[in-house]
Structure 1
């Protein structure tokens, strides 16, 4: 009688014995799936796709909904403070509500402009952003400079605090050369100079005026013409952008360095500005070092 083995149903899964731990029949479906999974996990492309999905999901989870504008209490307070700074008055409840509504409207338009890319290739926005970045670079708090530091800066930039050659004089105005020459003759004969001259918007007396100031007042070249005159007597006519002048030089003040005490406040301001400019330049230099600049040949 032939031997017929009894039918035996294998369990779907059982813990392998120690002797079987090194051998798993390929006929088990779950083992095939595990082998497939192991094979997939060894593929770089699978990991790349998985990481991309995770990053996309994280961005979607943590990003703020751009269609939502949440105006915090602190933001409303800042809006009210800005109003008070500009007007000197505390905003009423109605005014604050209107201010917040205007801010929200502006924020909506701002976001829409960004969405449409209106900030791209705009030279005005470009310059404004660069300007704001410059303010950030200059904003590092600095302690007040010591007097010795200011004195050293003063000596290093002495030309900026040197007063130029200056003139003090009286003048009589005339429209024509002939009238000016007749008046000069009258003065030489003893006439009172204060009774001569034509009416004008110019001052009769000028004191401690630099050549730059005089040229701005009387026209280019006027200071050079004064340089050839002798102090203490009426001379001329001296031409200006207005007409002709008789001039009495009362003093010529040579160039001189201003005393440090008289310009210390200005020196402190100049020093602070110099420090800010240096900080901005260092900031730009550090940024430039992070870029590779390539100019295409034309």
Structure 2
């Protein structure tokens, strides 16, 4: 392993251990960057976040390094999207405006809900009536807040609409509505038909749906304006969404170029027929311990009639296996350690294996159910073919992007 990579993994295994994370730049990407705070935020939101603390340092370092590279590629793609003008087109601007309005409205409603408190006398009575039942007390409190919030929300929206001097012109839906037909007006705000269904003509108008959409957006608009007046700031979240949206639009355009029609997919499938092969899937039970001696003892107990799953819940050193009482779920053939895969190939169902050694420990495994391998036709796996083709194209595309926006690591001063 190159020294640079060893240093990177060591640094990643040590950094971000405290409660506070400095906004230190980890890597510059073109004219952008990825910081420690961005990395920590992404790690906290990752699917593996709950299992991360129980992993060993090597696995933690690998996941941090992988996440950092993902963030760097994301930043490079965003810069490419900006360079190609994706953030300047009308659809991007409209979606960003809609997102900002919706988020502000949501935050304002949260602000309203937070203002609701349960009167001391009522809370005291609830505690007396529901003494010893914490769940029921929490449910009663939540029910009170929900009822009060609905009334407060309806009242506040009515007040805000009146202040905004809203006027609606739903009668215009019956008179050959056009894209520039104004359906509602408020102070410094107008809703046109094109704002709701820009790609549909008047022959497809559903009047009630249009009315509902207009009223929905009027509510969002007045709530968003109230949020701004209260000083609620969502620009950090809006910036994050803009980053995501620019990449989404860039890649959508690329995918359209890569796959202009179904014929492209079918031709790819013919050249790669193994995409249609579905490996055998097995429902696996597993117990992992730290020594062969203990594994042999537990195997004898299983052969004598005890449950592998019950023993796994008590003895397994694998955090996931212990938490799930040895039930590893459905695993595809070839997805485990080679030593385990070799045993599974000839292991009868519902029979405990011999002891197997891997870098994780000493294993006992069992197959409780199988789904046999099969080969599927194009129509049944069209989405899988699409994903395979995109993955192939994406690899080459990312290489081009990363060459265009090279990485400049900034961590040497922190290692």
Same fold (TM over 0.5): no
TM-score interval, smaller chain: 0.3 to 0.5
TM-score by length of 2: 0.30
Q: Which has the higher contact order (CA 8 A, sep 6+)?
A: 2
